Amino acid sequence: MPKRTDIKKILLIGSGPIVIGQACEFDYSGTQACKALMEEGYEVILVNSNPATIMTDFDFATKTYIEPVTPEMVEMIIDRDRPDALLPTMGGQTALNTAIALEESGVLKKFNVEMIGADIAAIKKAEDRKLFKEAMLDIGLKVPPSGYAHSTKEAIEIVQETGYPAIIRPSFTLGGAGGGVAHTESQLAHLTEWGLSASPVKEVLIEKSLLGWKEYELEVMRDCKDNVVIVCSIENFDPMGVHTGDSITVAPAQTLTDKEYQILRDASLDIIREIGVETGGSNIQFAVNPENGEFIVIEMNPRVSRSSALASKATGFPIAKIAAKLAVGYTLDEIQNDITRVTPASFEPTIDYCVVKIPRFTFEKFSKTSGVLSTQMKSVGEVMAIGRTFKESLQKALRSLEIGVSGLEEHFKYDIGDSSQDKDVQKEKIRSLLKEPYWERLWMVAAGLRRGLSIDEINEITGIDLWFLQNLKEIVDFETAIKEKGIIKNLDGDFLRKAKQMGFSDKYLAGLLSCREADVAGAREEFKIHPVFKRVDTCGAEFEAHTPYLYSTYEEECEAKPTAKKKIMILGGGPNRIGQGLEFDYCCVHAAFALKEDGFETIMVNCNPETVSTDYDTSDRLYFEPLTFEDVMAIVNVEKPDGVIVQFGGQTPLKLALALEQAGVPIIGTSPENIDRAEDRKRFKEVLEKLSLKQSLNGTATSQQKAEKIAVEIGFPVMARPSYVLGGRSMEIVYNIEDLRHYMKTALNVSPEHPILIDQFLQEAIELDVDALSDGDDVVVAGVMEHIEEAGIHSGDSACSLPPFSVDDECIDLIKKQTAALARELGVVGLMNIQFAVKSGEVYIIEVNPRASRTVPFVSKTIGAPLAKIAARVMAGKTLKELDFTKEKTFNHISVKESVFPFIKFAEVDILLGPEMKSTGEVMGIDTSFGRAFAKSQLATGVELPSSGTVFISVKDKDKPVALKLAAGFRDLGYQLTATSGTAKYLNEAGFDVQMVNKVKEGSPHIVDSINAGEVQFVVNTTFGERAIRDSFSLRRTSLNCNLPYCTTIPGALALLDGLRAVKEKNLSVRSLQEYGTSG
């Protein structure tokens, strides 16, 4: 069937900010969908609050709204632009929920908007667990025994029937938010309460746990003629009980016979038909009993998902792109397979390699949580690796993680006794650790195997399939064989080749053989053992592949076929993590686009399956490979690029810069030498002294004594951190000598090879971020952003405003001058980012990053200039004059960036901000005034801003004078005030009418009771000192659980006040980026 001509304008809803459970895979999907629909000649109206996405770039949609993804705002867009259709399946749960709300409120009907891809009935049938259960029973499929609870009492009654362990799943949430496994009644009660609060419909499903069953996923696509294909099957390494987003997963399924696989395939076909997803992709999860093959349907997502992104990358079949085309009426047989170019999309990909995905966790940032996985997702990113065997793929994936491992080597922090101890004692400790699914379980299993635990025993404890365990054992056994060789010289060619085929990296081998990585590389050179590159082609080589989507392996034949074109290689950012997210991928993608336009062949190297950069469409050639020195050099040796870009992928490629340059790789842009001058504190100090620029007092300590000495000289409080980190990892404000000693003890363990930096902490300074471009001669400031929170809060966590809202022009001019001076001194070619602090009119330089920063997409979208593209062109030899970018852009609107946090997933964690970054993503609010832009940014994070109600204020003593201003502001807007004794007394004495409420420790009814009862709409809570922080913890957690807007800083509260005032003055309205005239 040809495409539909009765619809012309399609509204696409994006997924909003990056949060756990909903990350940049939806930018990948949405970007594909936008591209596909625009190519087909449709007008695309896009709404997404996340500025760091490629999809919100100007040319990916006809109209791009960077506005909060809420039913109210989307209704305004519909009213304004009158789309014919709404495609709700590309923006994750956020888009689905928004679409459901718009349907239920009658908006879609009112404006005559048709839902395409999946209709409301199908979405509800798949999403509402009750309807889903009925539907499955109707077609003769089994679902876990379960019941619905709306209270703890109901939950307990249900479990009396279904039994423990019980899984608690809140209805209509993403990433399993608020879910968990209960083994006891008290756990059940706790999880039910939590789950009820997380569910928008206040309902939880209580389900019999299938703990230990094998878990599978199938990716299904269907077209309007009822043709159905399975794109990919996925088997989880971790059995049921661990969220699939947190599981190590493998494609294709490994331990199912064809008969068993076909049962799941047939069931998937029946399910997509029964649910009624008419066009597009769905993901279906199954549990299989390892004892007898019995299978149970777990759930179905009637939309593209994290798994569909993974399946697309794993097979070369672009699910989202094809789903978009199916949604406008095409059938699978009418769509061409891009890779083979001769066969249609109506087929099932077959793969001739093994794909392993491993999630990336950041438990180290939330030190109070246990690191045990459950049905609620906690990972913040993932890596994927491709190899010819599971062993090879697994070890490639492990070294892609960038957590300090180069393979399956011993790696975990749990004490199992040192090597002098009895093996049996260690074994016993490992046995007991294996009982819980810690995120490091893979390494624990390996440790157990090393100490002689049998695979049968491990299988019994963990439920991990024997096939996986056998493969791990083969790696561990070979590790032993390598060690027994003693030194590298004892390895012959066959043995070394075998090691490489099993995925042992040079670095891993060097560790086992006590030599340098270069020695192993040298031995490989001697025996002529090099990786070859094979193509991902959807068809197991049955047809010729026209798309160079490549992975390395140790086999006979290489299919890389490098061209003789002028080429530039871009090193990506690896797995998403807190501190290094899709902003960096955004820059890499831009580099690829720009250089492609300029006639270069572009080569992307990355290992993150969620991203746009690893779409084979993005660059001319894609190498899906780990970003280690060894892996990158292997590609360089084959491709011989004319230039390699390291400054776009964050810290990941930057760390490789010096080594690559020493190996003769042509790094373009700012030289690694100058990068080092900026990154190395000591050398950077010299730079600043040379330019007579100011820095807060600081020193570099390599020992504890030195650290103490420096801190005392500078004077407390000081900021302490390890060098060479991103995202403020292990960064802390230290107030006294005891804290410093404690810090040194824990932090030095984090990165022993790097020293600790100690800076004077500029209390209450204003922080500013500057992004600038330079070609070596000209320097152009792209944007100066003023942070809303004061210095001391990590810049990645702080909200910021572009342009600044309180700093005077004189000061900003000074900042710009200093920026130019630094860019010239450091010979910056490309992008640079500088963080400044302003205190009492003095400008201090906090740090300089001669690379793309987290704010590049935010600035680009605000000023209307594609900074990363310009930077890439500059690196490739163009001047800013040639590119006509010599002056700072002027504009009349204001953009506010706000951060979003994963606290809801980590029950024990406080929501207070500090110098260590904790946010997973960001949103942008754009409007004509600071207040309106700020209000939008808050709405975009998912909170509501009611126009009346009660504001709770509790501030530390130091903040009390400012609290007067706050209280007056809220009062003038018509809000009631409530406060705990200290603040209440202070405010009432100043003439306010403040209701006093108990602190929690003062007994019920207290503030937490009030919040839970819905009596409080806003929370302002600043606190200082360990004890006060501990006492007010439950207050902040409850605000979070109740999804109230909360401010933990005074500047944040003042900004909120501005926002509320602006909204009250005039209702919010929407405007597209194109209309802001920023589509420069």
Query: Could you list the active site residues?
Result: 129, 169, 202, 215, 243, 283, 285, 299, 301, 303, 721, 727-728, 767, 835, 847, 849, 854
Output the smallest distance, CB 162 to another protein, in A.
Answer: 22
Position of tokens 């309205």? 1069
Shortest Å, Cβ 528 to another protein: 15
Give the separation between CA 176 and CA 1042, rounded to whole angstroms: 17
Q: 909-968: which residues touch another protein (CB under 8 A)? A: none
Stretch that binds another protein, among 147-155, 279-287, 385-393, 519-527 (CB under 8 A): 385-393
Q: Which spans in 338-387 are helix H?
A: none
Q: Are 531 and 553 in contact (CB under 8 A)?
A: yes
Classified as helix, coil or strand, 788 is coil
Q: Residue 817's closest CA among 875, 866, 894, 888?
A: 888
Stretch that binds another protein, among 382-390, 669-677, 800-808, 1057-1065 (CB under 8 A): 382-390
Q: Does residue 291 belong to the site contacting another protein (CB under 8 A)?
A: yes
For another protein, which residue of 41, 163, 293, 486 counts as binding (CB under 8 A)? 293
Give the tokens for residue 839. 């205190």
Minimum distance of another protein from residue 260's CB (angstroms): 7
- Applying CB under 8 A, which of residues 364, 519, 555, 1009 lies at the interface with another protein? 555
Query: 778, 743 in Cβ contact below 8 A?
Result: no
Among 160, 184, 262, 947, binds another protein (CB under 8 A): 262
Q: Of these, 388, 507, 794, 1071, which contacts another protein (CB under 8 A)?
A: 388
Least Cα distance to 826 among 776, 874, 875 occurs for 776
Q: Which of 552, 569, 585, 566 is nearest to 666 (CA)?
A: 569
Rank residues 350 and 637 by Cβ distance to another protein and give the closer one: 350
Coil/strand/helix, residue 473: helix
d(CA 676, CA 682): 10
- 285 sits in which H/E element: strand 280-288
The stretch among 220-228, 439-447, 522-530, 967-975 that binds another protein (CB under 8 A) is 220-228
Residue type, 365: K
Stretches 120-128, 349-357, 370-378, 1024-1032: which one binds another protein (CB under 8 A)? 349-357
Is residue 732 within 8 A of residue 750, CB to CB? The reply is no
Query: What sign for the dihedral angle of Cα 46, 47, 52, 53?
Result: negative
For residue 668 the two structure tokens come to 């373009």
Identify which of residues 56 and 236 has a Cβ nearer to another protein in the complex. Answer: 236
- Tell which one of 224, 372, 466, 973 touches another protein (CB under 8 A): 466
Least Å from the CB of residue 933 to another protein: 50
Say how far residue 495 (Cα) sits from the centre of its chain. 39
Paired residues of 781 in beta bridges: 772
Let me know the angle formed at the C-alpha of 916 by 915 and 921, rounded to the nearest 5 degrees.
110
Among 68, 88, 349, 371, binds another protein (CB under 8 A): 349
236 binds another protein (CB under 8 A): no
Choose between 164 and 347: whose C-beta lies nearer to another protein. 347
Site for another protein in 318-337 (CB under 8 A): 331-333
Return the ∠ at Cα 818 (arms to 813 and 824), rounded to 5°: 130
353 scored as a contact of another protein (CB under 8 A): yes
Residues 470-509 that bind another protein (CB under 8 A): 470-471, 473-474
Site for another protein (CB under 8 A): which residue of 424, 542, 777, 993?
542
Q: Does 257 bind another protein (CB under 8 A)?
A: yes
Tokens at 163, concatenated: 């039994």
Residue among 152, 162, 254, 1079 that touches another protein (CB under 8 A) = 254
Closer residue to another protein in complex, CB, 266/526: 266
What is the closest distance, in whole angstroms, from the C-beta atom of residue 560 to another protein in the complex? 13
What is the number of residues in the chain?
A: 1080
Q: Collect all residues with Cβ–Cβ distance below 8 Å to 285 and sequence separation of at least 6.
A: 215, 216, 217, 244, 297, 298, 299, 300
Binders of another protein in range 687-746 (CB under 8 A):
none
Q: Should residue 312 be labelled a site residue for another protein when binding is judged by CB under 8 A?
A: no
| Nearest distance, CB of residue 673 and another protein, angstroms | 42
Phi and psi torsions of 756, nearest 5°: -100, 135
Shortest spacing between CB 41 and another protein, in angstroms: 24
As a whole number of angstroms, the distance between CA 211 and CA 199 comes to 23
When asked if residue 562 is in the footprint of another protein (CB under 8 A), the reply is no
Report whether 841 contacts 856 (CB < 8 A).
no
Among 152, 187, 255, 369, binds another protein (CB under 8 A): 255
Q: Burial level of 71, CB count in 10 A (0-12/13-18/19+)?
A: middle
461 binds another protein (CB under 8 A): no
In sequence order, which residues have a C-beta less than 8 Å from that of residue 238 and are 6 or more positions away?
Answer: 215, 246, 247, 248, 373, 437, 441, 464
Q: Which of 131, 263, 659, 990 binds another protein (CB under 8 A)?
A: 263
- Per CB under 8 A, the segment of 287-295, 565-573, 1001-1009, 1067-1075 that binds another protein is 287-295
Q: CB within 8 A of 972, min separation 6: which ones?
A: none
Position among 152, 162, 187, 343 found at the interface with another protein (CB under 8 A) = 343
Binding status of residue 260 toward another protein by CB under 8 A? yes
What is the closest distance, in whole angstroms, from the C-beta atom of residue 338 to another protein in the complex? 15
- By CB under 8 A, residue 457 contacts another protein: no
Instruction: Report residue 706: phi and psi, to 5°.
Output: -60, -40
- Cβ-based neighbours of 55, under 8 Å, separated by 6 or more: 14, 27, 30, 31, 34, 46, 48, 61
User: Angle at the Cα of 581 (from 579 to 584), degrees rounded to 5?
Assistant: 105
**Angle at alpha carbon of residue 81, lines to 80 and 84, rounded to 5°:** 135
Work out whether 556 is an interface residue with another protein (CB under 8 A): yes
**By CB under 8 A, residue 357 contacts another protein:** no
Q: Is 467 in the site for another protein (CB under 8 A)?
A: yes
Paired tokens of 615: 């779409």
Cβ contact 534:554 at 8 Å: no
Binding mask 608-637 for another protein (x = CB under 8 A): ------------------------------
Compute how many other C-beta atoms are within 10 angstroms of the C-beta atom of residue 141.
Answer: 17
Binding pattern to another protein, positions 502-541, x when CB under 8 A? --------------------------------x----xxx
Distance of closest approach, residue 798 Cβ to another protein, in angstroms: 48
Q: What is the CA radius of gyration of the chain?
A: 28
How far apart, in whole angstroms, are the C-alpha atoms of residue 749 and residue 744?
A: 8
Size of the site for another protein (CB under 8 A): 62
Pairwise CA distance, residues 759 & 710, whole Å: 9
What is the nearest approach in angstroms of another protein to the Cβ of residue 461? 16
Does residue 227 belong to the site contacting another protein (CB under 8 A)?
yes
Q: Which is nearer to another protein, 208 or 265 (CB)?
A: 265
Strand order in the sheet with 732-734: 698-701, 756-760, 718-722, 732-734
Q: Which of 79, 104, 294, 972 binds another protein (CB under 8 A)?
A: 294
Q: Which is nearer to another protein, 102 or 455 (CB)?
A: 455
Judged by beta carbon, residue 260 or residue 888, the one nearer another protein is 260
**Site residues, another protein (CB under 8 A):** 225-227, 229, 233, 252-263, 265-266, 290-295, 331-333, 342-344, 346-354, 388-390, 455, 465-467, 470-471, 473-474, 534, 539-544, 555-557, 559
